[in-house]
Chains A and B, each alone.
Chain A
Amino acid sequence: MSNILENLKYSKDHEWVSVDGDVATVGITDYAQGSLGDVVYVELPKDGDTFAAHEAVGSVESVKAVSEIFTPIGGEIVEVNESVNDTPENVNNDCYGEGWMFKIKLDNAGEVDAMLSSVEYEEFLTNEH
């Protein structure tokens, strides 16, 4: 059973979001890292790039799979976690902590509200998989 934290918001693309003021931190969920297997490389967006919600901003690679990272919310990238490229295993070991991907300045806080709660995400996982 994959680990789902209560205080986060989730997308159906298996990203999590944690909001602090008008900046959201985004990463991939425990379920996502588990399905990928050993993460070996993460391609991140650049500071200052802007994206609409659900756009692909980068990708996560394991030995034999690659998966795009979608931003669940639109806005401007204000920080990326460069450290995951020195230690991509952090995405596996601590996906909700050290393995976060990027921070994005929200265009529209409503987009966060529309995301799944931990309970809803858990239901989604049970039903879909």
Chain B
Amino acid sequence: MSIKQVTSHPTQNEGLIFERSQAGRVGYMLPKLDVEETNLDDFLPAELRRSDDLEGVPEVSEVDIIRHFTRMSTWNFSIDLGMYPLGSCTMKYNSRLNEKVARIPGFTNLHPLTPESESQGALELAYQLQEDLSEITGLKGVTLQPAAGAHGEMTGVMLIRAFLDKRDGEASKERRVMLVPDSAHGTNPASANMAGFTVKTIRSTPEGFTDLDHLKELCAEGGIAGLMLTNPSTVGLFEINIKEICDLIHTAGGLVYMDGANMNALVGVARPGDMGVDVIHLNLHKTFSTPHGGGGPGCGPCCCTAELEPFLPTPRIVKLSEQEAVATGISYKLNYNRPDSIGRVKAFFGNFGMFVRALAYIQTHGNTGLVEATQSAVLNARYVSHALADDFDKPFEADCMHEAIFSHKKQTRKGVHTLDIGKRLIDYGFHPMTVYFPLIVEGAMLIEPTESVGRQDLDSFIDAMKSIAQETIDNPQLVIDAPHTTRIGRLDEATAARKPVLRWKKDMETLSKTA
């Protein structure tokens, strides 16, 4: 079979590792076994062992590994390369210092079942992060256990469920409606479902806010367990009626869950706890800059009122009083005796490596830097929103917070859609913005510059967007066929989903289809 090359440059034609594999190559060396060897059959009989000689697992050298992954890495866009304006995702700078401190051997080599007396530093660090997140959100109870935003959401709605079950007893059965705005992240209804709630959707007003009249109607229908609200909302607007909304839900007997995905617009400026929110999750990988890593690991702490604290996952980190500390020789311990807890949501204590990075972020910024980051993030978005208002349709009048939203309405007349505009941005050296989310804006383009972009780069981005708007008028096909500069073009996703190929097999087609 002849291999057609994607491009003439060799680094752009890296195949799968399985295609590189050569029998007999090795990429590792272990110390020699230093205990006397026993015949395996004597203690681990053959019928329990695999007999396929790990068929198909690659055999490559260390150099193969380095080249393979380095080449593939060049096919990715990254924050370090330039502005990555994915709305809602908060692609801010991931500090190298945070990476460095997370790799201190006293953290990385620490086993989670190490006796408490031998892991006081880890417990203290986690406790300190909880304290800081509590101060930032204005909410007393904090758990760091959830591994990601959606996991924190699940934890949050389960807290609500446990609270209602305890407060109302049997009558809690009548309270199973979770209200979710039509602009919400898809994870919200999915998480509500995992806590046994039925989702009812609240409409947004033409101005982009929660429709209070509709909210009142839904509350009047009864059975309200709570509301899941993103604030600032997914269209980047601060929910001006937040206090009234919280009051309405509380009066209806429910609790307010805030999706903290957009907390980076509020840190140091306003606190969910002061608005009437009962529980919120934070995305450490958004607001506190732990790396997104191509899709994780995240970390989704959940912060709640003192009222909800007894329901937080087990175990809890407890700071001992001075007398207790003197008596026991330790300052922090884990409390597993939590009769009202929703239970564990993850083995051990959460993504500890992310705690270290987030705390380093908080320490580096300090009180003043955290506010400065919030201001800069909002200013950058406002600047973009302002600069592109003539070229793209702006669905809402109100001032945006940390992200600017547009629709493709001005471009569709020429047959150019949001996806095309996003793909064309790639040719200008930018990652596409978030496309087609939230669903309430037709052809939504959600742009979140974050604070990590300087004015020159913002101006270049604005120029690129203006240029695409002009191209849409002059030469729409150029935009529709974009991107033109990448290693591969747009992929046929329909065929990929109709006949899914989800793993390599020996007889698979190589780099290109042969004609």
Contact = CB atoms under 8 A, between A and B. Distances in A.
A and B touch in the complex (CB under 8 A): yes
B96 interface: no
Interface string A11-31: 000000000000000000000
A contact residues, range: under 10
A56 B494 CA distance: 24
B498 interface: yes
A63 interface: yes
Nearest to B436: A64
Contacts of B498: 40-41, 88-89
Interface residues of B, number: 4
Interface string A41-84: 10000000000000000000111000000000000000000000
Contacts of A38: 493-494
B235 to A, nearest CB: 20
Nearest to A37: B494
Contacts of B497: 40-41, 61, 63
Interface string B478-507: 000000000000000110011000000000
A88 B493 CA distance: 14
A63 B491 CA distance: 12
Nearest to B493: A63
Contacts of A89: 494, 498
A38 B497 CA distance: 10
A89 B498 CA distance: 9
A73 to B, nearest CB: 28
A80 to B, nearest CB: 18
Most B-side CB within 10 Å, residue of A41, A61, A63? A63
A29 to B, nearest CB: 20
Contacts of A88: 498
Nearest to A87: B498
Contacts of A63: 493-494, 497
Nearest to A38: B494
Contacts of A37: 494
Interface of B: 493-494, 497-498
Given A37-B494, A61-B497, A89-B498, 13 more contacts: A38-B493, A38-B494, A40-B494, A40-B497, A40-B498, A41-B497, A41-B498, A62-B494, A63-B493, A63-B494, A63-B497, A88-B498, A89-B494
Interface of A: 37-38, 40-41, 61-63, 88-89
The 10 closest A-B pairs by CB, nearest first: A38-B494, A40-B497, A63-B493, A40-B498, A63-B497, A88-B498, A63-B494, A40-B494, A41-B497, A89-B498
16 contacts: A37-B494, A38-B493, A38-B494, A40-B494, A40-B497, A40-B498, A41-B497, A41-B498, A61-B497, A62-B494, A63-B493, A63-B494, A63-B497, A88-B498, A89-B494, A89-B498
